[in-house]
Structure 1
Amino acid sequence: MTRLSVEMLAADTVQPITSAGHAQLGIAVLAGIAVIVFLITKFKLHAFLALTIGSLVLGAVAGAPLDKAIVSFTTGLGSTVAGVGVLIALGAILGKLLADSGGADQIVDTILAKAGGRAMPWAMVLIASVIGLPLFFEVGIVLLIPVVLMVARRGNYSLMRIGIPALAGLSVMHGLIPPHPGPLVAIDAVKANLGVTLALGIVVAIPTVIIAGPLFSKVAARWVDVQAPERMIPERASESLERRPGFGATLGTVLLPVVLMLAKALVDIVIDDPADMTQRVFDVVGSPLIALLAAVLVGFVTLGRPAGFTKGRLQQTVEKGLMPIAGILLIVGAGGGFKQTLIDCGVGQMILEISKDWSIPALLLAWLIAVAIRLATGSATVATVSAAGLVAPLAADMSTTHTALLVLAIGAGSLFFSHVNDAGFWLVKEYFGLSVGQTVKTWSVMETIISVVAGGLVLLLSLVI
């Protein structure tokens, strides 16, 4: 997350669109969430419509003028689609290109041959953790989902047995490990040491991802025994292809955006001078948009050419890749609209004000504040930035290791129980073809396990170091 986006986030919470008190805001949040869940589960209303109505109900109960509530919702929808929509579209194109060229088949067949049976969930969590290190969660999702779905179908695995480890790997990287943007924001806010935070983050992340990924996936697969949805599974490439791309070329194409974004993060750490030309170049080529666009363009050559694709065939692949994601974009955007309505009504600020009076240890306080803001706003980034800003003064008297642990406590709390106000919730639901209840029993519980386990490990480490 850039310094500019942090400043914009702070500006969002300066002037709430309602003067409601804490009790009224709390009731408004519960009413908005209840309406969303009720409309989807009882009336089977499309999630986009339910989120839109729920946002308006939230604003109305909070006492916000209807026109301002509408502006908040549309602003959040627009900013979410602007930030995530293009990435989802580019990821969908890359995924379709992988499928049509036979590249995805090559990856899946190689993985199945090397890590079959009980080793598969462990292989998926390792791959997701490596790919997810420098990526925004949404980018990692669109890169991994085609592989997850195809492995589940070809290997005849329960979708949750394969999907949960992949999601856990991505989520743990998202919340705990620098140079991911979230932890970097918290490190800057509390003046923690990056190297110490990274080292302790790895110590916390490894057992956390094992418990929330491969181990929990056994339980999740029993709770929600579903197969990969047909509409989202890339079709096996036609046998009439001249030949399939090589495994190395395919893997290199998929990892290209990862390498570019990781290079940007490393350059930012080493140089840390916005005026430096090298850093400016890497800021451009390592941005998610340019990195994914580069992967698509490179894929036209490394994937399309071996498969014998003509220019017309490449155009068809792009068009077919974009068609299935329209509904996903609207739902994810509406989730962002609901989140923005929460923020503009002052819910995040309410949580911060209430938590100031809590008299508990600093690390636990940081975790609880991040949990409360995460539950209220649905945004791990909002929770991280807000909690880090609130507890930053507490870091003044802390040792280097405990300051790093403070960052990790905030990151752990920011992942707690993703639900209907989180765009990631809807992204997982739609890609995996789950109901709201199934998504809660798998994705939401997995996020809670990550948060609780990581938070507990942070507290444990604080006692021994």
Structure 2
Amino acid sequence: MTGHAWTLLIILAAAIAALILLINSRLRFHPFAALMTVSVGVALAAGEPVEKIADSLESGAGGILGNVGVTLAFGTMLGRLLSLSGATDRIARMIVDRAGTRSLPWYMTAAAFVIGIPTFFEIGLIVLLPLIFSVARRLQAEHDVKGSPYIYLATPAIAALATLHGMVAPHPGPLVAVEGLHANLGLTIGIGLICAIPTVIVAGPVYGRWIAPRLDVRPDPELIARFAGNEPAADNDATGTTGATGATGSGHGAGAPARRNTVRTGWALAAVLVPVALMLLRTLAELVCGEAGQVRHVLTFTGEPVPAMLAGFLFALFALGYRSGAGADEIRSSLTDSLKAVASILLIIAGGGAFNQVLEDSGIGKAVESAASGMHINVLLLGWLLALLLSFSTGSATVGIVAATGILAPVAGSGSSLHTALLVVAIGAGSIGLNYVNHAGFWLVKESFGMTLGQATKSHTAIQTIVSACGLLMALLISIWA
């Protein structure tokens, strides 16, 4: 470590502090503006030539949006089509329809796991609220659960949605890390799913069974009526769309969702799994097929994030969207609205790409690599810790994951493909933990279930922190064979 390298590391530490200050101070900078401002400051302080700073910002932001941004847009529209057609609600009701009281949390976990593959945490929770409220209301009337039936069912849903959102591509956070660390996408998805399953079990049904009797949570009756209808009989709506349309804000009143054609469950499940399957098949082809095989060329192309998500979107558009009974204008309007909802996330990702490029072009990345090589700390633990602290301090899991990825990108290049995939999972797990009052998801859960601040801490914050810790533990265990 030279004196110049130490100077660059000090600049990096000051940049992180400045980023936290700009976002959390009275100035309340938008994370995108904060990332771009700090990026310029880092470039100047590190001595990057002034004439190259603009190129670093543009290439960093544009490069990551060219892949992650387009993929995120298609994923968002896919999720909206699933919701608009009632497919997500149909999947959820199919999974929990025949469940007994004791097995309901496990079925709710499965429903949230499937629905969480193509949707963001907040969107997935809103889609599941009608089901959670209607089933919990039934349990409450039958006195089948000790404590709050709403926590009993919400805990596994929150755990599954949070785990997938942070640890499994093609969600934006893991996808940013895959791109920044040059990880194998299919392998990362596979490793993420392996780590996610036990994580969801511990943070979901297991923790939910323990915490539900200890929290007396009762949502506002008017909110329950809005999502689940005024009468328990509405739970068995034959169309399978009760609450799904109203929950996503399509403009129909509560209790009177738009009438849709019935969507077959098989088509709904296929729409969810098409992009993930294509990405996994790409990895399988790279392992099994020859270098010059035609099958490998086809699967390599279709397994790239953009073509895979485009295929999933087009499949959902024709198999679900047009067949649901919704008009073409309504579908287009709904898709446009869905893109508006993720505009802020796209900008944050662009800012993160600019920040990461500046770290590389200014030489800070090499200084980090040099320092990490002399530190006796596991890189997975370091990535998890950086993402955890940045996410907690900035109130944005996306900021946490993109900044941690940029800092550790030079280190990742020296590891195996499996180790790099595990680093993506560890960083993603870190970005989930300590989700508290400066995170939007915390307030969504708190207000949706009518919780006090303490109840939201014991439920939502605790669930996501358990997910974070278990995700890291799984990554560390698998790394023994990396």
1:432 deviation in Å?
Answer: 7.4
Distance 1:432 1:339 in 2: 28
Distance 1:169 1:263 in 2: 20
**Corresponding residue pairs, total:** 396
Checking the alignment, whether the CA contact within 8 Å between 2:359 and 2:407 is kept in structure 1 is: no
Determine whether 1:25 maps to 2:39: no
The residue that corresponds to 2:273 in the other structure is: 255
The residue that corresponds to 1:90 in the other structure is: 74
Checking the alignment, whether the CA contact within 8 Å between 1:348 and 1:373 is kept in structure 2 is: no
1:270 deviation in Å?
Answer: 0.8
The residue that corresponds to 1:235 in the other structure is: 249
1:148 deviation in Å?
Answer: 3.4
The residue that corresponds to 1:453 in the other structure is: 473
**Distance 1:268-1:443 versus aligned 2 partners, 3 A rule:** farther
The residue that corresponds to 2:243 in the other structure is: none
1:99 deviation in Å?
Answer: 2.1
Equivalent of 1:68 in 52, 64, 85: 52
SS in 1 for 2:259: coil
**Distance 1:52-1:125 versus aligned 2 partners, 3 A rule:** farther
Equivalent position amino acid for 1:22 in 2:
A
SS in 1 for 2:97: helix
Cα deviation code 1:427-465 (max 9, x no counterpart):
x96677779xx9996798467514642365358x68xxx
The residue that corresponds to 2:25 in the other structure is: 42
The residue that corresponds to 2:147 in the other structure is: none
Cα deviation code 1:288-331 (max 9, x no counterpart):
22222222222232213432234333333332332322222112
Equivalent position amino acid for 1:453 in 2:
L
Cα deviation code 1:341-364 (max 9, x no counterpart):
223333332232123334x6xxx6
Equivalent of 1:417 in 421, 430, 438: 430
Distance 1:79 1:145 in 2: 27
**Distance 1:367-1:50 versus aligned 2 partners, 3 A rule:** closer
Checking the alignment, whether the CA contact within 8 Å between 1:88 and 1:142 is kept in structure 2 is: no
Distance 1:240 1:206 in 2: 35
Equivalent of 1:164 in 140, 159, 163: 159
Instruction: Tell me how large the CA RMSD over aligned residues is.
Output: 5.0
The residue that corresponds to 2:232 in the other structure is: none
TM-score where L is the length of structure 1: 0.66
1:278 deviation in Å?
Answer: 0.9
Checking the alignment, whether the CA contact within 8 Å between 2:204 and 2:463 is kept in structure 1 is: no
Equivalent of 2:317 in 257, 277, 300: 300
Determine whether 1:286 maps to 2:300: no
Checking the alignment, whether the CA contact within 8 Å between 2:35 and 2:351 is kept in structure 1 is: yes
Distance 2:467 2:363 in 1: 25
SS in 1 for 2:325: coil
1:144 deviation in Å?
Answer: 6.9
TM-score where L is the length of structure 2: 0.64
| Moved beyond 6 Å, runs of 4+ | 127-132, 185-188, 216-219, 225-228, 372-377, 380-385, 406-409, 430-435
Checking the alignment, whether the CA contact within 8 Å between 1:168 and 1:213 is kept in structure 2 is: no
**Distance 1:323-1:35 versus aligned 2 partners, 3 A rule:** same
Cα deviation code 1:384-429 (max 9, x no counterpart):
875465467xxxxxxxxxx98x778756655563399xxxx9xx96
Q: Matched residues, percent identical? A: 26
**Distance 1:408-1:95 versus aligned 2 partners, 3 A rule:** closer
Equivalent of 2:372 in 329, 334, 355: 355
Equivalent position amino acid for 1:353 in 2:
S
**Distance 1:350-1:146 versus aligned 2 partners, 3 A rule:** same
Checking the alignment, whether the CA contact within 8 Å between 1:416 and 1:447 is kept in structure 2 is: yes
1:92 deviation in Å?
Answer: 1.9
SS in 2 for 1:77: helix
**Distance 1:307-1:373 versus aligned 2 partners, 3 A rule:** closer
28-37 or 450-459, which moves further after superposition?
450-459
Determine whether 1:311 maps to 2:328: yes
Determine whether 1:151 maps to 2:168: no
Cα deviation code 1:59-85 (max 9, x no counterpart):
333333444344323322111211111
Distance 2:219 2:350 in 1: 26
Checking the alignment, whether the CA contact within 8 Å between 2:282 and 2:300 is kept in structure 1 is: yes
Structure 1 segment 160-239 matched on structure 2, within 5 A: 162-169=157-164, 171-172=166-167, 202=194, 207-211=198-202, 234-235=248-249, 239=257
1:280 deviation in Å?
Answer: 0.7
1:146 deviation in Å?
Answer: 3.5
SS in 2 for 1:418: helix
Cα deviation code 1:50-107 (max 9, x no counterpart):
2222222333333334443443233221112111111121122222222222223322
Distance 1:242 1:187 in 2: 41
Checking the alignment, whether the CA contact within 8 Å between 1:415 and 1:447 is kept in structure 2 is: no
| Structure 2 unaligned residues grouped into runs of 5+ | 134-149, 228-245, 391-399, 446-455
The residue that corresponds to 1:137 in the other structure is: none
Checking the alignment, whether the CA contact within 8 Å between 1:415 and 1:450 is kept in structure 2 is: no
1:205 deviation in Å?
Answer: 6.3
| Structure 1 unaligned residues grouped into runs of 5+ | 1-18, 133-139, 189-193, 393-402
Checking the alignment, whether the CA contact within 8 Å between 2:44 and 2:50 is kept in structure 1 is: yes
Distance 2:464 2:356 in 1: 17
SS in 1 for 2:323: coil
**Distance 1:303-1:129 versus aligned 2 partners, 3 A rule:** closer
